[in-house]
Amino acid sequence: MYKQYLLKNPFRHSLKCMMVTVALFMTVLLGFNTPASADELFPTSSGRYKEGCQVDGKQLPVTGWILKDDGYKVGKVTNSSPDKSYEVTLVSYKEFYAHTNFKHVYDQNGKMIKKGQEVFDSVTQNVGPNQTIQLNVDLPVDLPPDQKPCPTQIDLVCGPVIQYLGDGLYGKRKLAWQHLHKTVDGDEVWCDDELIVPPAACPFSMDRFTGISNGAVVSGAFSIQVTVNGGTPKKVNFKLTGPDGTVKTHTENNAPYFFLGDNEKWDTTQYPNGQYTLTVNIYNNAGQVCDIQTISFTVKNGIAQCPLQMVEISGVSDGEVVTPSSTLNIGATITGGTPKQVRFELTDPNGVSILSPHDEEQAPYYFLGDSGGNPNGWNTTAYPEGQYTMTASVYDETGWEDNPKVACDTKTVSFVLAPACQPEIYAVHDDKLNDTQMLIVAEDELVKIGGVHKGRDIEALAIDLETGTLYAAAGDNTDKPGYLYTVDKTNGNITELCPTLFDEDSNTLFEEVDGLAFRPDGTLWGWAQNKGLFTIDVANCEATLVKEYQGEVEDLTWDVAGTTLYAVGNVNGDDSKEGAGDRSAQLLAYDGANISTVCELSSESEIEALETLPDGTLLVGYHGKNTVIAGTIDKNNCTITPIKEFSSIFNDVEGIAIRNCQ
């Protein structure tokens, strides 16, 4: 393309070359503050970045050199900007290791005291417009013998100093650099020769071998596994050495740690008979070996193979995330005959054995046994979250009697016990006449989220059980009656979603929404004072009256099956005004056709919330002067039993929404 341009425009090319030549000549003639010395411009033993002094991706008009004739202790910087000043730094470092190897240095207690290269001396100055300055530093390589001189790295950079190289690098901020090494009797030395560098923390140790034992006589194909105590190592390395000098190595980076890989078997028939050793090295993140274990055994192909095989571990799968408080029925399926024993071994996230080993002699083979063929199960309620490992091994009589025992086959699964679910509990406080303050339960106390929303008169709350979205609806003591909102659960902000809901078919305006609830199918239902029960199409902001009802309710909830909707209705005689007789209440039920009274609720406090627990129990929320209380309702007689109390500085809680653990 450029060649074609030259052919078409030879005069322009010649003119361009002439202009460049003149420009270069003028640069040399005028100098532009450029030092005249060639050694200063390009010292033979130091590096210089042509694209140096880039800050935040922007090239600054600053050039610099480290002066060879001054022993590299002097840096010279020129700023060609006519109106701006820039910060520049000359720094010398003590080099603890080769400059490309940023290792840590520790004291006798294992505490890190140095990292990579540490600043020995530095100076930072501003270089003004059209100004050239010099910066001077001392060098550790120049220290007298009694202070043990050592190698140094000198950097000339734009911007501030970095105290430890290894924490960061200058990159394109750098203008020039130099390394001065120190030798003693011809050997290169470093500044850390006198420092103690102990191994980094090595908490890992091998727990045991599974599938093979010291002194065993083996043949056939089987899995070899090791388990590790002390957490998760960087890697586990296997090295198998045979009688003919054969060496087989394998590295595992993640648990479970199997020789040749997860659940893979080593086939002795592919190897000669004789004495073997298997060495296992366990490494930490620093690459240091924390533990070494070796076992010896004999391969004798041709001896009878154990026909027993572990088909699978049932009841939990590898990588599964288990719901907290679950009961796991972990079992093992065996083929190839009747085993002498099946051994289960369970370890927690710290590698500690739990209820293990557990041995089963007869089918069915379940961890913790069975009762009449039904597994006893392992209840996870009392155990912490994290990764667990279950190992199941099958033994014939010979392997069971061996010392140590030798399994015919082994399988392992690792699974995660999820954190215990914490229910979400939100509430709304009616401040003064109609101001709204959003609240959340935190550590058994109702605390506010965000600020007060003036004149919003929020009366009802509901949480979408699938998405977790928190919805709110207004009463009628506001200029936006019956509005539907979404609530930001992190800061309490409310966002208008729908204006006052209206059903065209029944000509019904829902101006005071008393309660909201999600049906298990995901539809949102509401109850408006003196209007009744209605559904809400959130996407289109449309409402449909389902059942008329004269009176006020405090809250509503669907049962687990989604067949019955329960509500707490106020008993106010002929006065349906809000606040009249709120402490007299009924439990109402809507069965898809009619609204009926289940029973009279016996509460001396004002009921504000009604939710359904996963087991079908009705959970009621009511408040005293400075408390919010959760209780259960006996649907046979409407007796309320308090189960939890939350303290609060707020004395007029209007609505409560609870998202229970499912």
| Beta carbons within 10 angstroms of residue 45's beta carbon | 11
Structure tokens at 308: 């027993």
Highest mean predicted confidence (pLDDT) among 38-47, 93-102, 652-661: 652-661
Q: Which pLDDT tens digit goes with each residue over 248-283? A: 999 999 999 999 998 789 999 899 988 899 999 999
Q: Which pLDDT tens digit goes with each residue over 448-487? A: 898 999 999 999 999 998 888 999 999 999 999 999 999 9
Q: Which pLDDT tens digit goes with each residue over 508-551? A: 899 999 999 999 999 999 999 999 999 999 999 999 999 999 98
Task: Give the pLDDT band of residue 22 (cuts 50, 70, 90).
Answer: very low
> Would the pTM count as exceeding 0.75?
no
CB 328 within 8 A of CB 315: yes
Task: Compute φ and ψ for 141, nearest 5 degrees.
Answer: -70, -20
Task: Determine the Cα–Cα distance for residues 598 and 567; give it in Å rounded to an integer.
Answer: 10
Task: Determine the Cα–Cα distance for residues 433 and 83; give it in Å rounded to an integer.
Answer: 62
Nearest to 398 by CA among 311, 333, 334, 303: 303
pLDDT of residue 48: 59
CB 521 within 8 A of CB 515: no
- E strand or H helix that includes residue 23: helix 10-30
pLDDT of residue 5: 36
Residue 161: strand pairing partners = none
Task: Give the pLDDT band of residue 104 (cuts 50, 70, 90).
Answer: low
- E strand or H helix that includes residue 125: strand 117-127
Sheet holding 513-518, edge to edge: 513-518, 524-528, 532-537, 542-548
